[in-house]
Structure 1
Amino acid sequence: MEYLSMHLPELKFGRKDVNVQAYEQALTSWTDDVPTCRESGVGSAINELYRRDGSRIQIHSFQDRSFRFRVEDYDLCVYGVFDGFGGAQVADFVTKRIPAELLWGQLVPEKSDEAVKETLRQAFISVDKEYFESIGDRLAARMVMQCDPQYSSSSQLEELEDRVRAGSAGVLAVVLGNRLFVASIGDCRALLYRSGEILPLSIDHTIYNEDELLRLSHLGVDLKLGVSYPELGERSYTRCLGNYPVKGGYKESTLLASCQDEPVIPEPEVLGGIPIQDFSFLLLYTKSLWHAVAEATGCQDPDSEIAELCRYYFREESSLSGVAQAVVDQVVRLHHDRLEASGGRADTREDITLLIREFGGCREPRGNTPGRGLSRGLMDKKEEKTLTRSSARPSRPTRSSTTTESSGVYLAGKEIPIDEHGRIQPYVDFAPFYQLWNQRKFSQGSSDK
């Protein structure tokens, strides 16, 4: 304690912890050499605050992280979507460490289902432990400051408290041969789609889950279903990565001090192996996408709406990343339009990430001829904007940006005309140019003679 007190001035909380920095230097680029899975794609949108005047501003830096790797030697694909909170440091750490726990021979086709599931569980637990070891100096400095009255209300202590509360939810999918395994923690979501059938592969680990409340009651703390408890953090996770105050520091909480063990755990729920031959595609996404669809449409089953929207864009986009980004863009647009139409107060939308993995069972035609999307967007701009399956196909969004609001192409206030195939018709007459050009060529040819 005395040593830490003497060296507290050296702990510059504006810079990275030495151990975290060492990890980042060692792991920042190693995944660059791991092949990306070409049968998958990712789309995302950064968080926004919608103001009453129609403008939008970013609330905080982007905190989602994802990866999609393939190792041919083991017939292995690993996908992850991680939703950071309180900062991106935990999600960033996890997406650099978990692939190292899975890609180098730990998972091989000969492994049994139970052995694979145990490997995934241990990967989450091990990485969570490594993260806390990497911020050991910060945790020690925080403890010293809490015991020293001169730091009781300092900005340095407040900054440390914010940093150690950072955490991440996440969902991890592994395709090993023809088997699928999914590990989830927090409230990120996963689903499989097959011929109109949706198979959910994740549950929410929050105080809204009765099984989780039962687990906590066995540890000695009784919580009421759906009641908000600030001690568990803003998102009320009962399982997550990071978030020291509800793990190693749970004895500091009056609500959790009676627990016999750490109440919030890093152990994921794991499903598998699921044969993938008959399925069309797998979706992994942050809960914010689910919330945005629910708020934009009022539907009771956002998962189905997201799957149907993906099916639509399979016909419109030529790449899987294009499909994922088109779905995210459409949801963001509809979410913002809903707010404008209601005339409500300022509202927010969190970071969104959607990862799509296509399987051999997918029979959707991929991509249309160039220009068709723009043509349909112009023809459909008067259609009601909705995602519900009872409606016609969703309106085709402008693909340039999530913040672009126009549904067509304009020049000097006039819409550029297009033909029946969606191609832009000529709008500049070059006849006088060619007439002068031919006259000049003719005159030059005569002078040469």
Structure 2
Amino acid sequence: MIARPWTDDLPKCRSTCVASYFSRLGGGNVDSGDDYLCFHCQTEDDSCLYGVFEPHNGLEAARFIMQRMAAELLFPPPSASNTDEEIRDKLRNAFNSVEKAYIENYDGMIAERTSLQYQLQTLNETQISQNVDNILARLKEIDQHLSGGATVVIALVHNNKLFCANVGCCRALLCRTDANSVLRVVQLTADHSLANEDELLRLRQLGLDHNKLRNAQYVGNQPGTRCLGNYLVKGLYKAFPGVSAARTEPVLPSPEIHGPVQLDESCRVES
């Protein structure tokens, strides 16, 4: 049985209908077939924090990323005195810290992978017949773990302003009533995918053929151009023919920060 994540016990914010739905999908009492993980909470100074995480290759790494992200953003929580730029920096630093913690969490497995690959290269014919199947099976198991990760979107309501940060294709949407009292839905975040011209330009600057990528479905082993985790397509990207020519890691953990968006009565959605 999978342990219930501690984020389920965070003080809930007052407006959590969508977040509650995702939380039921991704909570600790469900199996690995679910599509999303989530946390949603309210801090002592009435800031509200939401996070949605779409797992890649299983829930293990995504659960680690979700719980570490909550810890980075809530300990300590934003304070009423924080400026807009300080909030943006807090979000940016949280993503960087979570990525660093992920690498440290899998450091032993990365080292074991390197050792096993060295063994494969140095085995003689007798040793190959005896050991290669076990080594290859373990390498496959390690690669499965190392490819785990998540695309992420974070929404923080602070001082009546909305800030968003994301990697990948999880989206933040804002419902707002226009001057004619018509409810509009505005997408606040940009998808980090091969349909994003800015991301294609970034990959082109790394030495990749952006025209081939434009028609591709995957960057290495995943559809998005940014994520947290998935060391296999970052530190080991040279193993993937489509991106092996890149001068540096093609898939980034760095978020885009959006906002602040001033919230007012036009942003209220009545049930």
For the aligned pair, the TM-score class normalised by the smaller chain equals: 0.7 to 0.9
Q: TM-score, normalised by structure 2?
A: 0.81
> Partner of 2:257 in structure 1?
270
1:107 CA displacement: 1.8
The reply to whether residue 252 of structure 1 matches residue 252 of structure 2 is no
> Partner of 1:87 in structure 2?
58
> Partner of 2:123 in structure 1?
none
1:253 CA displacement: 3.2
Work out the CA distance in 2 between the residues paired with 1:245 and 1:271: 28
If you compute each CA radius of gyration, which structure gives the higher value, 1 or 2? 1
Work out the CA distance in 2 between the residues paired with 1:76 and 1:260: 41
Q: Out of 203, 207, 222, which is 1:216 matched to?
A: 203
Work out the CA distance in 1 between the residues paired with 2:166 and 2:199: 14
Work out the CA distance in 2 between the residues paired with 1:32 and 1:198: 28
> Partner of 1:173 in structure 2?
155
1:101 CA displacement: 1.2
Q: Output aligned runs, 1:230-379, within 5 Å.
A: 230=218, 232-233=220-221, 235-280=222-267, 361-362=268-269, 364=270, 366=271
Distance 1:168 1:32, change over 3 A: closer
Work out the CA distance in 1 between the residues paired with 2:68 and 2:32: 24
Q: Does the CA contact (< 8 Å) of 1:89 and 1:166 recur in 2?
A: yes
Work out the CA distance in 1 between the residues paired with 2:209 and 2:187: 28
Q: Out of 15, 20, 25, which is 1:39 matched to?
A: 15
Q: Residues 389-425 of structure 1: CA distance to partner in whole angstroms, max 9, x if unpaired? A: xxxxxxxxxxxxxxxxxxxxxxxxxxxxxxxxxxxxx
Name the amino acid aligned to 1:65. Answer: L
> Partner of 1:67 in structure 2?
39
The count of residues paired between Structure 1 and Structure 2 equals 247
Work out the CA distance in 2 between the residues paired with 1:132 and 1:76: 30
Q: Does the CA contact (< 8 Å) of 1:98 and 1:123 recur in 2?
A: yes
Work out the CA distance in 2 between the residues paired with 1:227 and 1:83: 23
Distance 1:256 1:180, change over 3 A: same
Q: Does the CA contact (< 8 Å) of 1:213 and 1:222 recur in 2?
A: no
Distance 1:63 1:193, change over 3 A: closer
The reply to whether residue 157 of structure 1 matches residue 145 of structure 2 is no
Tell me the SS of whatever aligns to 2:91. helix
1:63 CA displacement: 4.7
The reply to whether residue 144 of structure 1 matches residue 126 of structure 2 is no
1:222 CA displacement: 2.3
Tell me the SS of whatever aligns to 1:216. helix
Work out the CA distance in 2 between the residues paired with 1:87 and 1:33: 23
Work out the CA distance in 2 between the residues paired with 1:266 and 1:65: 18
Q: Out of 215, 238, 245, which is 1:227 matched to?
A: 215
In structure 1, stretches of 5+ residues that fail to align are 1-23, 48-58, 281-360, 367-449
Distance 1:255 1:124, change over 3 A: same
1:104 CA displacement: 2.9
> Partner of 1:108 in structure 2?
79
Distance 1:124 1:254, change over 3 A: same
Work out the CA distance in 2 between the residues paired with 1:151 and 1:77: 52
Q: Output aligned runs, 1:422-441, within 5 Å.
A: none
Tell me the SS of whatever aligns to 1:154. helix
Work out the CA distance in 2 between the residues paired with 1:132 and 1:78: 25
1:82 CA displacement: 0.3
Identity of aligned residues (%): 36
Work out the CA distance in 2 between the residues paired with 1:67 and 1:277: 24
Q: Residues 8-53 of structure 1: CA distance to partner in whole angstroms, max 9, x if unpaired? A: xxxxxxxxxxxxxxxx99x953x46531113212214869xxxxxx
Tell me the SS of whatever aligns to 1:270. strand
Question: Which segment is superposed worse, 122-131 or 245-254?
Answer: 245-254
RMSD over aligned Cα, in angstroms? 2.7
1:191 CA displacement: 0.8
Name the amino acid aligned to 2:174. Answer: L
Tell me the SS of whatever aligns to 1:239. coil
Q: Residues 159-218 of structure 1: CA distance to partner in whole angstroms, max 9, x if unpaired? A: 111111111111100001201001111101111112222211111111111100111111
Work out the CA distance in 1 between the residues paired with 2:233 and 2:81: 38
Q: Does the CA contact (< 8 Å) of 2:220 and 2:242 recur in 1?
A: no
